[in-house]
Structure 1
Amino acid sequence: MARSSVLGYPRIGADREWKKALEAFWAGKLGEAELHEELRGIRLEHLRKQREAGIDLIPVNDFSYYDQVLDTAAMFGIVPARFGHAGGPVPLAVYYGMARGTADTTACEMTKWFNTNYHYIVPELGGTEPALVDNKPLAAYREAKEALGIEGKPVLVGPLTFLKLSKGYAPSETDAWLNRLLPLYAQALQELEAEGAEWVQLDEPIVVTGLDADDRQRLKRSCAALASAAPKLKLMLQTYFESAEHYELLAELPVHGLGLDFVHGREGNLRAIREHGFPRDKTLGAGVIDGRGIWRAALSDKLALLEELEALVPQERLIVQTSCSLLHVPVTAARETKLAPVLKDALAFADEKLAEVVQLVYGLSGRTEAFAGAFAASDRAVEALRASADRNRTDVQRAAARIAEEPAARKAPFAERRSRQQDHWRLPVLPTTTIGSFPQSAEVRKARQAWRRGEWDGARYESFIDAQIDQWMGLQEEIGLDVLVHGEFERTDMVEFFGEKLAGFAFTANGWVQSYGSRCVKPPVIFGDVAFVAPMTVRETRYAQSKTSKPVKGMLTGPITILNWSFAREDLTREAIAYQIAYALRREVEALEAAGIGMIQVDEPAVREGLPLKPGEQADYLAWAVKAFRATTCTVADTTQIHTHMCYCEFHDMIPSIEAMDADVISIETSRSHGELIESFEHHTYPLGIGLGVYDIHSPRVPSAEEMTTMIGRALRVLDPNLFWINPDCGLKTRGLPETVASLRNMVEATERARASLAAQV
């Protein structure tokens, strides 16, 4: 009989207990010993739940105090010198300092985990000499065994993936660093072997992105070294998010199992096994249940896929599992009692996916009596949603098809628009602005909850929001910013807000997932055709503009970000959904312009994260992503200035596509990467308006004017000062009022210094 497994379980808890514990600790309301005890309880509860669901191989060490890549760095004592760590186990204060920064030390860079909305902390290797200072997988294995009698499956980020996702070393030093790391991995595995562990999941998702000849040799060398170091351990080389590259190489590696994604990499992985067979000395980890999506599986289809695999791989060498960690989906759909039945029945979150995995194992074994009803119910639920009226709006589908055929270009090229916008707006050199949101205090959140519960009527809530806008319009004027924003106090989340006002979206009550650190988001569900209903942002933006003579930006979230930060339907291509959203947002852009708003920011922070992992598929994605953005913004007048914003991704390889979006001004995060993006502009002339964020808003520290002046000066060495804007990295929603005001004052002071320096050069 095949066995069941998952690659990881959500760490946040059904009630976000994990998030609450972390934030209480950071606020000084929970001691370190209490934090450890709280998190241990959450961790053990998750293991119990998987055992009760019938999972055979339960992952351990998938739980984290912040992020699994940061955990791996801490495990090997890899701490940047600026944190003053003298060696040995990494204290919690240093661990969280690396993640969040401290009062006087910048945090490590944060970026997206492959093509997901999960953010990991980028390890900085630099001059650190690594050592195994804390065998975290061993501790997790012991805990599960001693507390619950569970023989867990320890999970580690593999050495090649860890190395390729790290920074602080030259390409020529790659092999030297691998030579440093491999003995430490070997030591960790030897200790697990001595403890009696059977399987170890070695995550190497870097394999799906394509490996050059040198990296292929490194993978071979890594697996050989680790297999020989702990010969009694069964190593599962785990890939996910796409089909594995170089399957023939993987089949020859000295590991006991290969984990392959048969959801997002279904065709490529199936083709490889059909053409080359599956090695007789290995177990196949068949990822047939989608670990990233929330839709219920059609179990009959999944069983047919497993039966095809069974013809190539005997059941005793087959593990039925999720396609990736369940970190990327909410915990349970059981509480979603307010959704329409046709939608509710079609959902499967983490707990439901545990059941699906087990049901498929029993179905494959022929023991289907107990699960016959589940198979039939899953098929009915999938078909009912497919046939619903919400998914079959011909008016929307025709409009989206027209968008796809249009050229989507502004009336005039940028040079002409810029001249007209300069005459119209009369902004100073190096104009200052913010990205959109201002701090949402407990008072703001309480007011929103009162309104949503019906305790406040609409008029009272609008009056409250207007008072918040009044306060921050005054603060922006007093600080001296040039282009203002209304602050977005009426918005919970930059995607959820728009989804609530568009047709085709649904919202869960408890569908939380981790984005970064303790930041949890509740992605909207795109279940039907997306359509504009009524203006969404005009009232608050127009009110803010009435309070100042300075320009106020209208603030929208772009079509690709709404798509990538939602759980999207699977019966349409992502491109088709993007054009539906673009058409709806175009009508909002036109409504803002008609209301007298002449600067409109359409944020696209998630363009980069949707980039396919296969290089051969990236050009097509970027082409339609750029077109969807342009379709949203192309109908405005030349004097209307279109802004956009991107953050916390590697943008170096897509600057031509960013330019092709033809936004009048783009702001991009640079402070956490310590200005490294600026290097890209040393080799690529950027002819449009650009603001490289001069301070990190995800850290509580207040950067000095001197620090920001240095960042501005470096940027101005490679960018035209007449096209350069000054702004923070991202929105300020999560920050407090005092630190926000102090940071913005320093930003304006740094700008004034830069302006004076430019004037002196004339």
Structure 2
Amino acid sequence: MQTHNLGYPRIGSNRELKKACEQYWLGKISVAELIKTGKRIRQYNWQLQKDAGVDLIPSNDFSFYDQVLDMSLTVGAIPKRYHEVMLNKTNNELDLYFAMARGYQKHDLDITAMKMTKWFDTNYHYIVPEFDKEQTFKLFSSKIINEFIEAKEAGFKTKPVLIGPVSYLLLGKEKQEGFNRLDLIKNLLPVYLIILKKLKEEGVEWVQFDEPFLALDLSEKAKEAFSYVYAEIKNTFPELKIIIANYFDSFGNNLDLALSLPVNMLHIDLVRSNTQLDDILESDKLSLKIQLSLGVVDGRNIWKNDFKHSLYLINKAINKVGEDRIFIAPSCSLLHSPCDLDSETTLNSEIKQWLAFAKQKVDEVVTLKKLVNFKEKESVLEKFKANQLAIESRKTSKLIHNNKVKERVKTITEADINRKNVFKKRKEKQQERLKLPLFPTTTIGSFPQTKEVRTWRSKLKKGEINKQEYDEFIKEETKKVIRWQEQIGLDVLVHGEFERNDMVEYFGERLDGFVFTKKGWVQSYGSRCVKPPIIYGDIQRTKPITVYWAKYAQSLTKKHLKGMLTGPVTILQWSFVRNDQPRSETCTQIALAIRDEVVDLEKAGIKIIQIDEAALREGLPLRKADWQNYLNWAVKAFRIASSGVKDETQIHTHMCYSEFNDIIQNIANMDADVITIECSRSQMELLDAFAEFNYPNEIGPGVYDIHSPRVPSKTEMLALLEKAQAVISTDQLWVNPDCGLKTRHWEETKKALIEMVNAAIISREEALIVS
């Protein structure tokens, strides 16, 4: 029996990669220095895993931005609009790579970024490949081969990790109608074969292909592509050992397909679906030659592994197929885990004993192997005993349960889930009260958090300033942003959220049942890292969270100000969630806490309240058969949070990077008065779902892509608004950016929002002329 890992966090224990990338983008370090930082992180990760005793260590799990974008660059799937980037001789391959991810606006070039969307049901974002009907592929980047060589020369035996060719195509999008991206498989596969040939020449033994689409509903065409690809790989390289890694769910009805593939090992996620082990072991299609990788350590959550339960699953597999055919692994890449629990020196000790981060998960994998091995078992018996004591401690801890919260959940009624009147009647009252123009303009909530803002927050945490001094600073920042919004003519203002850190963390810090880390960072996209809260117990709000700052900001202006809240589903999705009760139960507890905040904001005179549900679509189970149960409780949670107010109070919600077609009825069932969505990168394609459905409420399709540093022109935004008007009624449309502006710089933000307001004014005037 052996161990392996599917991938390790690439941000560095102290977010070294984030800092280096951002310094490079600002021109403060050279490309050589950036590359040196990447190498240092890789070497550290390989050494850590080798020292822990991992038998097969991954390479090519490192990325400067995103692993899917890496694959696009590797196979030369570079959209034509980026070709000019490389004509400037001062640019290098990394500049091209970052231009694809972030857009490019210099040297008289203005190029939009590639679309970004969520990686399955995680909060990680990937860059969506773009495919033309006549798409060609070639080996453009040798990153995969170079990193394998780098590891070998440093004394590390690694298995390169590649996104499998079928999943790579399925992750992408056709840029024209009339063809299926899977038709490109015969053009793409030769490049993969070239990569494998070069790896073989360098002495590779194992290669891991990530094929997570095997956990989704597959078309017959996709199934045929899987069979074709792996038959060709086996025929071309019969001596290579190939791992197919599936994760985030079971193989399900793709099990027979997976077992028929001519590969050496199948990886199965036994955290998300441990019942699939029986299906595999009992299948008459399980080859005597195939090895099984058992993903028993949770790669996506932070709870300590229950060794007793994992050993039960491992021994079951051993008894059926033999120890020599078993590998032990995390359930998926540890990309989704923080780096090292040892860095948390101030965490509550009782809670800390229940946790494991990436470094500790690697150790858990190796310890499980030793517990099975008769010769090594004695050396880790104390670890087993400590593990079981921690598991039992969590079950019985008084920190976790609050009977008052549980009772309130039980007594929720239909009246708690519904607004008093339907939207049509609410809209009349809201129009009369708010008196907003056509194409009302607003932003999604946050404004840039400058170095000065972050410094003041840091000073407060360190005790260098007191709360009163900090609040006075935040008041001044809030006043400045209110005045600036008035000056440029925004219709509905926000207070800028300068007092907040992360949109989930800020709320979690003020709710019972949450605990926070100091260095528990995980990558969200590119250089963007988040520090998810840990939900360990029952949740309640004991006092107002946002009312003070909303009320203060509203006192500064006669214009309407939005109260800004994070919704229950998003708080759930972007946290590490307790796994000792259904997620739906935890979400309902959060919804009740947010409901109390909504009611208090209304009492404080706030007439427009936004409850962000950016993660609603992301939480969908991978298979459609499981969708409705999730959507039922997720939509219910939003309605619980939003339905405690009068008809006159306008409820907004915001969602980003979502495909709405399949769940548009559920979006409508949320019954928000206004929904704002990401639309600029997709060039308003996402609005088609709302048009075909005849969405009844109001909608703000984002006209400004805030995930790119480029400044869109007024003309560009007018074109997007014209596209929007072609499918959505003028009296339904709002004008806003795609998302919050917290991560942007003030210079670009100011320019872009002025252009946005001017575009709205022109659209308004044109609409009035037509009417």
Three-state SS of the structure 2 residue aligned to 1:706 is: helix
Number of residue pairs matched? 760
Three-state SS of the structure 2 residue aligned to 1:237 is: strand
Q: Is the 8 A contact 1:244 1:269 kept in 2?
A: no
Q: Is the 8 A contact 1:670 1:693 kept in 2?
A: yes
**Deviation of the 1:205 alpha carbon:** 0.1
Q: Is the 8 A contact 1:437 1:732 kept in 2?
A: yes
Q: Tell me the distance in 2 between the aligned counterparts of 1:144 and 1:681.
A: 50
Note the alpha carbon deviations across 1:686-738, whole angstroms, 9 max, x for none: 10010000010111111100000000011011111111100000001111112
Partner of 1:150: 156
Q: Tell me the distance in 1 between the aligned counterparts of 2:693 and 2:380.
A: 59
In the TM superposition, 1:144-293 aligns within 5 A as 144-147=151-154, 149-169=155-175, 170=177, 172-245=179-252, 246-276=254-284, 278-293=286-301
Partner of 1:94: 96
Three-state SS of the structure 2 residue aligned to 1:606 is: coil
Partner of 2:138: 131
**Deviation of the 1:280 alpha carbon:** 0.7
Note the alpha carbon deviations across 1:215-248, whole angstroms, 9 max, x for none: 1111100111111121111010110000013212
Q: Tell me the distance in 1 between the aligned counterparts of 2:619 and 2:279.
A: 24
**Deviation of the 1:278 alpha carbon:** 3.1
Three-state SS of the structure 1 residue aligned to 2:399 is: helix
What's the TM-score, normalizing by structure 1? 0.98
Q: Tell me the distance in 1 between the aligned counterparts of 2:113 and 2:661.
A: 21
Partner of 1:569: 578
In the TM superposition, 1:574-593 aligns within 5 A as 574-593=583-602
Change in 2 beyond 3 A, CA 1:385/1:639: same
Q: Tell me the distance in 1 between the aligned counterparts of 2:415 and 2:560.
A: 31
Three-state SS of the structure 2 residue aligned to 1:470 is: helix
Change in 2 beyond 3 A, CA 1:125/1:174: closer
Amino acid of the structure 2 residue aligned with 1:719: I
Amino acid of the structure 2 residue aligned with 1:303: L
Q: Tell me the distance in 2 between the aligned counterparts of 1:403 and 1:497.
A: 26
Q: Tell me the distance in 2 between the aligned counterparts of 1:139 and 1:573.
A: 44
Q: Is the 8 A contact 1:553 1:600 kept in 2?
A: yes
Confirm whether residue 18 of structure 1 aligns to residue 17 of structure 2. yes
Q: Is the 8 A contact 1:403 1:579 kept in 2?
A: no
Partner of 2:8: 9
Q: Tell me the distance in 1 between the aligned counterparts of 2:324 and 2:445.
A: 55
1:370 to 379, 383, 407: 379
Amino acid of the structure 2 residue aligned with 1:533: T
Partner of 1:688: 697
In the TM superposition, 1:139-538 aligns within 5 A as 139-147=146-154, 149-169=155-175, 170=177, 172-245=179-252, 246-276=254-284, 278-366=286-374, 367-403=376-412, 408-538=417-547
Three-state SS of the structure 2 residue aligned to 1:676 is: coil
**Deviation of the 1:378 alpha carbon:** 1.0
2:726 to 714, 717, 727: 717
Q: Is the 8 A contact 2:416 2:644 kept in 1?
A: no
Higher mean displacement: 119-128 or 577-586: 119-128
Three-state SS of the structure 1 residue aligned to 2:111 is: coil
Amino acid of the structure 2 residue aligned with 1:22: C
Higher mean displacement: 250-259 or 520-529: 250-259
**Deviation of the 1:138 alpha carbon:** 1.5
Q: Tell me the distance in 1 between the aligned counterparts of 2:571 and 2:75.
A: 38
Three-state SS of the structure 1 residue aligned to 2:721 is: helix
1:652 to 661, 665, 676: 661
Q: Is the 8 A contact 1:111 1:122 kept in 2?
A: yes
Change in 2 beyond 3 A, CA 1:90/1:35: closer
Q: Tell me the distance in 2 between the aligned counterparts of 1:206 and 1:404.
A: 39
Partner of 1:617: 626
Higher mean displacement: 361-370 or 577-586: 361-370
Partner of 1:598: 607
Q: Tell me the distance in 2 between the aligned counterparts of 1:337 and 1:197.
A: 40
Structure 2, unpaired ranges of 5+: none
**Deviation of the 1:506 alpha carbon:** 0.2
Change in 2 beyond 3 A, CA 1:45/1:64: same
Note the alpha carbon deviations across 1:373-398, whole angstroms, 9 max, x for none: 11111111122122112222111111
Note the alpha carbon deviations across 1:169-192, whole angstroms, 9 max, x for none: 546343431111011111111221
Note the alpha carbon deviations across 1:91-134, whole angstroms, 9 max, x for none: 11110000011111110000000000000000112254210122
Q: Is the 8 A contact 2:234 2:263 kept in 1?
A: yes
**Deviation of the 1:337 alpha carbon:** 1.9
Q: Tell me the distance in 2 between the aligned counterparts of 1:339 and 1:33.
A: 37
Q: Tell me the distance in 2 between the aligned counterparts of 1:356 and 1:537.
A: 41
Change in 2 beyond 3 A, CA 1:179/1:404: farther
Higher mean displacement: 185-194 or 411-420: 185-194
Q: Is the 8 A contact 2:85 2:96 kept in 1?
A: no
Partner of 1:27: 26
**Deviation of the 1:34 alpha carbon:** 1.4
Amino acid of the structure 2 residue aligned with 1:154: P
Partner of 1:541: 550
**Deviation of the 1:300 alpha carbon:** 1.4
Change in 2 beyond 3 A, CA 1:500/1:144: same
Q: Tell me the distance in 2 between the aligned counterparts of 1:5 and 1:85.
A: 42
Partner of 1:668: 677
**Deviation of the 1:405 alpha carbon:** 6.7
Q: Is the 8 A contact 1:328 1:514 kept in 2?
A: yes
Q: Tell me the distance in 1 between the aligned counterparts of 2:416 and 2:92.
A: 55
Q: Tell me the distance in 2 between the aligned counterparts of 1:540 and 1:115.
A: 33
Q: Tell me the distance in 2 between the aligned counterparts of 1:109 and 1:389.
A: 46
Q: Tell me the distance in 1 between the aligned counterparts of 2:651 and 2:64.
A: 40
Three-state SS of the structure 2 residue aligned to 1:481 is: coil
**Deviation of the 1:626 alpha carbon:** 0.3
Amino acid of the structure 2 residue aligned with 1:82: R
Q: Tell me the distance in 1 between the aligned counterparts of 2:524 and 2:350.
A: 28
Amino acid of the structure 2 residue aligned with 1:254: P
Three-state SS of the structure 2 residue aligned to 1:505 is: strand
Amino acid of the structure 1 residue aligned with 2:100: M
Q: Tell me the distance in 1 between the aligned counterparts of 2:194 and 2:67.
A: 19
Three-state SS of the structure 2 residue aligned to 1:416 is: helix
**Deviation of the 1:90 alpha carbon:** 7.4
Note the alpha carbon deviations across 1:399-442, whole angstroms, 9 max, x for none: 12233876600000000000000001111011100000001000
Change in 2 beyond 3 A, CA 1:431/1:243: same
Note the alpha carbon deviations across 1:36-59, whole angstroms, 9 max, x for none: 112111111110011001000000
Amino acid of the structure 2 residue aligned with 1:219: F
Partner of 1:734: 743
Confirm whether residue 555 of structure 1 aligns to residue 564 of structure 2. yes
1:114 to 96, 115, 120: 120
Q: Is the 8 A contact 2:207 2:240 kept in 1?
A: yes
